[in-house]
Structure formats: C-alpha cells, structure tokens
C-alpha cells in the first residue's frame, strides 16, 4: 500500500500542473489570426486617415489643374466679333515689300484689337518675336481708318493708311507696341483693320513693309452705328 501511494502522489502532482498549462494552450490564437491592441488600432486608423487625406488632396489638385488648363492664346479673345471683345490678327510675311501682298507664311507675332466703349475707339497692341531685325527702329501703320482725323506721323490717305507709332526691337529682334485711337478722332462704324510693320526708312527713301496682318482686313465695329 505504501509503495502504491509513493507511486500515486507524483502522478497526481503531474496532473495538477498539466491542467493550467492546457488551459493556457487553449487560449492561443491560431496562425494567421492577427489581433490588434487598442493602441495599434489607433495607429492603424491614423495611417488610414492620412492615406484618405492625401487621396483627397491629390484629387483636388487634379481638379484644379484641369480648371486652370486654359489656352493663353484664346483667353479674352473673340474670334471674329464682339464690340468690347479682343480680336487677334496674325502677322505674316509679304512679297514685293507691300502690305497688299500678304503671304500665308506666319511669323511669330500677332496683334490684339479691342473696341471699347467710352473715350477710346480702338486699342491696338502688338507683339512680334520673329521676322524683324535686332536693334532696329520700325513704324506701325494701320489701315483702313476712313474718316480718321487724329494725329499721325505719316499717312497715305487714298488707302486710309496712317502711321501711328514706332518701336525698337531688342537684341533678339523682339518688339512690342501699343496704340490708342480716341473716339473723337474716329467716327463710329465698321472698319477693316490691317496692321503693317515697316523699317524706319532713310530720309527720302520709300516705305517698305516687312510683315503685315491679312488683307482684306478684319472687320471691327467701333462705337455705335445707330
């Protein structure tokens, strides 16, 4: 009997130790089931929020980029009409140094013509980046201003042609000009506008056009014809 008890006691002790160990093993998560602590969950939520915020910012920037994708050539420009809208005239080369003979070869330059209401009848503004010599003086001639009575450095009245300004190109042959024609000097009406650029000639030498806008010119309505 004593020998049986001696053998039984160690066996019982082993059973007592094995029960809690088995209970602990039953609480182990199986592989692949990841539990997240409250702190880790907060970090995950913050990261997800930042990803969503970046996505929203990216979408907003893309939308703004599409809104701003405006062709600068067409901004504030009316193709053919609009009393107060700007109209764009392209510069071309000419043959026989005459603005009557405008080719279809474009140069890098154009003219914006606006007919505003009020004291100013016409605003003519040009920008030329090719077709002209560097560091050279040029004249700006405007045709066809029938009935014009304002100041002009030169004129050829049979064609209602008036030289209304000059400019000097820079070292790269770029030039700009700006001309205002007052309402008191130009009657209300419809005008076919052409702009021609001539080098300032030597004294007594003939005029020679080097670039010009198309002829017949672009119809521009000035003032009120009613």
Six-digit token string for 90: 């392209």
User: What is the rounded average pLDDT of the residues 146-168?
Assistant: 96
Residue 63 counted as domain residue: no
Residue 58 counted as domain residue: no
Q: How many domains is the chain built from?
A: 1
* Residues 114 and 180: beta-carbon distance below 8 Å: no
Highest mean pLDDT among 36-40, 66-70, 109-113, 222-226: 109-113
* Domain of 131, in residue numbers: 87-222
d(CA 219, CA 195): 13
User: What is the rounded average pLDDT of the residues 42-58?
Assistant: 40
Residue 175 counted as domain residue: yes
Query: According to the model, what pLDDT value does residue 69 have?
Result: 36
Residue 17 counted as domain residue: no
More confident: 40 or 116: 116
Whole-model pTM: value is 0.63
Q: Among 78, 185, 64, which Cα is nearest to 122's?
A: 185
Residue 129 counted as domain residue: yes
Residue 81 counted as domain residue: no
User: What is the rounded average pLDDT of the residues 119-130?
Assistant: 96
Residue 179 counted as domain residue: yes
More confident: 214 or 24: 214
User: What is the rounded average pLDDT of the residues 150-167?
Assistant: 96
CA 183 to chain centre: 32
d(CA 68, CA 65): 5
- Report the CATH number that the domain containing residue 91 is assigned in CATH: 2.60.40.200
Six-digit token string for 59: 């979408």
């Amino acid at each position: 009997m004593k020998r049986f008890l001696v053998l039984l006691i160690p066996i019982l002790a082993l059973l007592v130790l094995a029960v809690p160990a088995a209970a602990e093993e039953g609480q182990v998560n199986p592989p692949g089931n990841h539990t997240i602590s409250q702190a880790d969950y907060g970090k995950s939520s913050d990261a997800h929020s930042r990803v969503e915020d970046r996505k929203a910012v990216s979408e907003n920037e893309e939308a703004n980029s599409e809104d701003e994708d405006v062709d600068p050539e067409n901004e504030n420009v009316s193709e053919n009409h609009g009393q107060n809208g700007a109209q764009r005239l392209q510069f071309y080369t000419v043959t026989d140094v005459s603005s009557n003979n405008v080719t279809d070869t474009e140069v890098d330059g154009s003219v914006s013509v606006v007919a505003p209401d009020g004291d100013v009848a016409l605003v003519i503004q040009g920008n030329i980046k090719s077709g002209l010599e560097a560091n050279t003086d040029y004249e700006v001639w405007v045709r066809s201003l029938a009935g014009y009575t304002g100041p002009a450095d030169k004129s050829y009245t049979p064609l209602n042609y008036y030289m209304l300004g000059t400019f000097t190109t820079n070292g790269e042959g770029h030039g700009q000009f700006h001309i205002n024609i007052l309402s008191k000097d130009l009657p209300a009406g419809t005008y076919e506008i052409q702009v021609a650029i001539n080098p300032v000639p030597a004294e007594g030498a003939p005029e020679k056009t080097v670039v010009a806008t198309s002829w017949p010119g672009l119809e521009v309505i000035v003032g009120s014809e009613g």
